[in-house]
Amino acid sequence: RLDRIDRILVGDWAMKMENGACFLVEDAAVEQPRADQFEISPTGILFGSRVSWATGEPGEIERAVVGESGATPESLTEAAKACGFRGERRSFRTRLVDLDWALEGSVLTLSFSLPPGAYATNVLRELMKTDSQAAENAR
């Protein structure tokens, strides 16, 4: 799904970037312009006892990933209940706020802010990928 991280699909849980509220996408063509404007973003699941799974193609992808680990949505839900994890959905994308950068010779210095739940290490990992790493992650 990484090769379509900016695409809204029917069955996605999309997050409103202004307030973090999520909604189930019923018409991707209607919602895609909002994603293009960074008003909404597709989300990924953080498993838990009360989190909603995607449906359609996004749901198939989530279930396939879980299946590769030998688990099922039901087994994860039961384990989450036992541990008290409610789960949530996180945006696939995040906007860098107050981005500033400087390049001196071969040294790049970055400064930016992120919303809660986003990590600078993830941003830096994406920026430092080689073409071969990016191709591998797109699979």
Q: For 50-85, write each residue's pLDDT tens digit.
A: 999 999 999 999 999 999 999 999 999 999 999 999
| Residue 125 neighbours by CB under 8 Å, 6+ apart | none
The answer to whether 43 touches 71, Cβ cutoff 8 Å, is no
Q: Which CATH number fits domain 2-91: 3.90.400.10, 2.40.160.40, 3.30.2340.10, 1.10.3720.10?
A: 3.30.2340.10
State pLDDT tens for residues 17-36: 999 999 999 999 999 999 99
pLDDT at 138: 63
State pTM to two decimals: 0.82
pLDDT classification of 129: cutoffs 50, 70, 90: confident
